Chain A
Amino acid sequence: MSCQLAADNVLYANGLYRLVYDLVGTILPCWLSYVIAGLVMIFVLVNAVLLGAAVITWAERRLLGRFQNRVGPNRWGPFGLFQPLADLLKLLTKEDLTPDGADKPVFALVPILMVAPLVMMTAVIPFAENTSLAALNVGVLYILAVSSITSIAIFMAGWSSNNRYAMFGAARSVAVLISYEVPVVLSLLGVVMVAASMSLGSIVEAQVLPFFLVQPLAFFVFMAGMSAELNRSPFDVAEAESEIIAGYHTEYSGVKFALIQAAEFGGVGVVSAIAATLFLGGWSGPWSEYLGWLWFLIKTGAIVFLFIWFRATYPRLRIDQIMAVSWKFLLPLSLVNLAAVTLEVFLLRGPEGVLTTGDLGIMAVINVVVTVVAIWVFGNLIRDRVKFQARQPSDVVVPGVTTIEVH
């Protein structure tokens, strides 16, 4: 018995899926091999995310050590490479506490709901030519939709912990998430417009010139917005060390805490992969037929390094400053980018509606100028506001906290 996967199936483009499907299909009925091949792919993706998270924890600690002129973890294994394993063992052997009065099923669901969207996002990322699990033609929207589930998971963590501080942390985190979603989505709109497609595969193919050159402003907004959405420094006030308590995951310990941490660092990996796909040209590069995965990994690693670099460099913002950066700085920038890109696409595209490499080059030159000017103008505007406005403590409105009155 041999099974045929329909050519219009979204899974058809994936070489590994077809290989497993054909192999299993020779001995088992078709519907079962359909499921088994899917499970194999899911196994691969889950492990990619979790292993990526482990490697990123190690890289982050080592690199932060270098940035801060110290050594970093270097005891176990070459260059301390087995440190994540040690961390994992430590967390697994710790007691898994559930606080008194917690909403137990909701509390237990949170770690799963934190990791699941990340794994789902990897389904549409092309790791090399024709290797995304599902070549969805609404890939960009799919990523945005799936990532929006995280905010519900954060709410669940805050609510079910029966802990006031966890609740405040959750309210802050979600406020940051939904504020930064707006500029990020608007910056992605420019990418979609130039690529004339929402499928990640087509966006990679459209990047004859990588989009971080064509739309530097969109790249800037995307990276800043994503550092905020990942709760990373300089936007990590919701769970920072200097804050009174750790944010929405205050009450989590043991395995659940390990999973939440894995989601946090796995998130860095997945977002870096998405950024590499959308802005750095993904798997494209010399000999991309054979070395596509290598280019993809190098580009993803570069973005991960950038995130770690941000964390090591910038001082932390207050929560009201975080909100101000989103609404008064990144949102106008993303609108400027959108307007510029719309005009350029409208004026430059040929009668067939296609942009040539030369067009992209012209756009790159214009947009670099637009980026410098826009960042300078809006940077000055927001700086003046922070400097000259005498801040009253009662001005500081924190989501989840009623206004602090000082008499």
Chain B
Amino acid sequence: MLAIQDLAFWVLSVVAIVAALGVVLVRDLFRAALLLAVVFIAVAGFFVLLSAEFLAVVQVLIYVGAISVLFIFGIMLTRNVREGNLPNHLQIPAVLFPALLLVGMVIAAVATDWRPIPEAATDMVELAQTQSVTVLTEGALESGGFDSSQAREEARQSGLADLLIGRYVLPFEAVSLLLLAALIGGLALARSRGS
């Protein structure tokens, strides 16, 4: 079983890297956007391999279903896109900034103290991932294998949903408000220019 997971990892890696290169190198903007969607799907595949199905599904839902579609809409409404992506003079910054970003991410990945989750906590993490939309009820926790009331209380606190609408409710609502403001702002800008 392990062999298959390794194989899947390598296939996904090759697909992700080739598609990512394609995004940068392909001249046709539309194809670049499609390849970007392929990269997103491959990343979702990695999440599945890490048994984070919830993240994988949300990745596809948001990045492929929403963001890629937004890009493609943008491309379609752009004039003269058929002639392709014109070259410009930003090659050097375009190399520098991603390189810096890459170095930063590698340092972060190496410096992080990765610890495997203890056996007892894996159930909890899985439960938090899968039940995140619904509030972790007593019944759901009991069927999830949390026998003592103390374990249930702990699991409840690790629930993503409980965290979002409990401890982090203010930042969460602030982000929602920001998005709404951006939406209305975009609409206002587009309207005033049109008529």
Give A residues with C-beta under 8 Å from B: 6, 30-31, 34-35, 103, 106, 136-138, 141-142, 144-146, 148-149, 151-152, 155-156, 159, 167, 171, 174, 178, 181, 189, 192-193, 196-198, 349, 351-354, 400, 403
Contact = CB atoms under 8 A, between A and B. Distances in A.
A114 to B, nearest CB: 15
Given A152-B64, A152-B69, A159-B76, A141 B54 contact: yes
A352 B134 CA distance: 14
B3 A148 contact: no
Contacts of A35: 4
B10 interface: no
A34 B4 contact: yes
Contact of A152 (B53, B72, B139): B72
A353 B1 contact: no
B51 to A, nearest CB: 9
Contacts, number: 99
A22 to B, nearest CB: 15
Contacts of B134: 192-193, 196-198
A174 B139 contact: no
Interface residues of B, number: 32
Nearest to A160: B30
B61 interface: yes
A196 B140 contact: yes
Contact of B53 (A34, A136, A178, A192): A136
A34 B76 contact: no
B160 interface: no
Contacts of A142: 53, 57
B83 to A, nearest CB: 13
Given A31-B4, A144-B61, A145-B60, A192 B133 contact: yes
A352 B194 CA distance: 55
Complex A-B, nearest 8 residue pairs according to Cβ-Cβ distance, in ascending order: A148-B65, A353-B137, A145-B61, A145-B60, A137-B130, A141-B57, A354-B139, A145-B57
Task: Say what secondary structure dominates the interface of chain B.
Answer: helix
B76 A171 contact: yes
B54 A138 contact: yes
B139 A155 contact: no
Contacts of A181: 65
Contacts of A354: 137, 139
A145 B65 contact: yes
B138 interface: yes
Given A31-B1, A145-B58, A151-B65, A156 B130 contact: no
B66 A352 contact: no
Contacts of A34: 1, 4
B194 A403 contact: yes
Contact of A156 (B34, B54, B57, B64): B34
A137 B34 CA distance: 29
Contacts of A103: 28, 30-31
Contact of B65 (A30, A149, A352, A400): A149
B1 A148 contact: no
A181 B61 CA distance: 11
Given A196-B140, A351-B138, A354-B139, A148 B54 contact: no
Interface in B45-83: 53-54, 57-58, 60-61, 64-66, 68-69, 72-73, 76
Given A31-B4, A156-B34, A149 B139 contact: no
B155 interface: no
A30 B1 contact: yes
Nearest to B7: A31
A196 B127 CA distance: 13
Contacts of B60: 145-146, 148-149
A353 B140 contact: yes
Contacts of B139: 196, 352-354
B64 A149 contact: yes
23 contacts: A138-B57, A144-B61, A148-B60, A149-B60, A151-B69, A152-B34, A152-B37, A152-B64, A155-B69, A174-B69, A181-B65, A192-B134, A193-B134, A196-B139, A197-B131, A197-B134, A198-B131, A198-B134, A352-B137, A352-B138, A353-B137, A353-B139, A354-B139
